[in-house]
Each structure stands twice: as C-alpha cells, then as structure tokens.
Structure 1
Amino acid sequence: MPKNKGKGGKNRRRGKNDNEDEKRELVFKEDGQEYAQVKRMLGNGRCEAACFDGRQRLCHIRGKMRKKVWVNTGDIVLIGLRDFQDQKADIILKYSPDEARSLKHYREIPDSTALNEALSDNEDQGDLDIVFDYDDVDDI
C-alpha cells in the first residue's frame, strides 16, 4: 500500500486563485523592455512573438510565470530584451484584455493591433453562409 506524501492532495497543492478580482496597476515598458503580441506557441515554455518595434523574436516564458500564468496566441505581453541576443527575449508580464485596451488608449501600442486575434479567426468561420437555391438545380 502506498504511503501518503504529505498533507492533502492535488487541490491543496494547487492553491487558491485569489487574484481574479484584483485590479493591478498598469505596468509600462522601461529601458530594455518592449511590448509584443504572441504569434505562435512553440512548446517547452517558448513562443514566437511580433514586437512592436518591428522585429520577430523567440520568447521564453520566465520560470515564475510557468504553470501560473497561461500565455496564449494573440496575447499582449511585456518582454525583456537581451543585450547579447537580439533575436531572443524573455516574457516578463502578460497583460489582461482590459490592460491591453488601456495600453492602446494610452498609445503605447499601435491602434492597428488586433487584441482578440484568436477569437476573431473563429468568429470569421461562422460568418460564412452558403446560399443555396433549389430552383437552380436541374433534375438529375
């Protein structure tokens, strides 16, 4: 018979999710940081992001965020640039949709940025209505 490995089970180790309703202060970029939008998830805590300085970078999700903050395609993130590797960066912070709209309002990110890109792709597929007229069909 297996021994117990401590106090409680999986739900106790998972912890509480208290930060849902909290409003945090909006964090702006500093020197050595840049805003980016996640274009593609690559696995192993990495993703491909399009930075708003016009470059495409391979980003690594920092250890403090892994398995706590889920980064998805289309999310607006704050990345820390590397001095020694310009093609790579580290994801420091993920902005919520409300915070991303605020950044757009403050003109920190361009107005042409699609904030809900992942959702809009799915919605476009539902808009395709095929009109079929039975009068046009000949007798077979």
Structure 2
Amino acid sequence: MLGTVESLLGANKIRVRCMDGVVRLARIPGKIKKRIWLMEGDVVIVVPWSFQNEKADIVWKYSGPQVNWLQRKGFLKS
C-alpha cells in the first residue's frame, strides 16, 4: 500500500498517511534501517500488520523520478 511520510517520531518510528486514508504508525525493519533515509513528504510502500491495522512496516522508498512517474500514471492523488 502506498503512503506518504507525515512525521518522524524518532528511532525507527514514522507516522505515515496511507492511500486508504488511515494514518498508521510505521517502523523501519532492522534489515533496511541503515539503507534508507526518510524525510517528511517521501512516498513509501507500507505493509499493514495482520493483527493490528493501525501499525505497519515500511518496505520501500520511492525516489524522485519514480514519484513523478506514479503521479503521471494516476497512482498518486497529488
């Protein structure tokens, strides 16, 4: 599910607004924690937890050209 980073909460916790309208508390798993650097406004892919819908894991961060392509193709609203 696509989402936009709203705020950085410290450590590996991030508040993400998902495309279904839900604001989720997301975390960066240890496997990719040191590999990606997130800022507010970045577009990411999140996977909601199966047992708690208000939380999710971040699995991918889109780069600038990828975000432009997603907007042109209509996957992102703005």
TM bracket (short chain) = over 0.9
77, 81, 84: which one aligns with 2:44: 77
Is 1:106 aligned with 2:73? yes
More helix by share: 1
Unpaired runs of at least 5, structure 2? none
In the TM superposition, what is the alpha-carbon distance from 1:52 to its structure 2 partner? Answer: 1.1
Unpaired runs of at least 5, structure 1? 1-33, 114-140
* Deviation string, structure 1 residues 39-71 (Cα, Å, up to 9, x no partner): 000011010011111110000012122121101
Q: Secondary structure at the match of 1:103?
A: helix
- RMSD after superposition: 0.9
Q: Distance in 1 between matches of 2:70 and 2:55?
A: 23
Bigger Rg over Cα: 1
Q: 1:88 aligns to what? A: 55
Structure 1 stretches of at least 4 aligned residues deviating more than 3 Å after TM superposition: none
In the TM superposition, what is the alpha-carbon distance from 1:106 to its structure 2 partner? Answer: 1.4
Q: Distance in 1 between matches of 2:44 and 2:76?
A: 11
Percentage of matched positions with identical amino acids = 33
In the TM superposition, what is the alpha-carbon distance from 1:108 to its structure 2 partner? Answer: 1.2
State the TM-score, normalized to the length of structure 2.
0.94
22, 25, 29: which one aligns with 1:55: 22
Q: Secondary structure at the match of 1:72?
A: coil
More strand by share: 2
2:42 alignment partner AA: D
Greater RCO (Cα-Cα under 8 Å, separation 6 or more):
2
* Count of aligned positions: 78
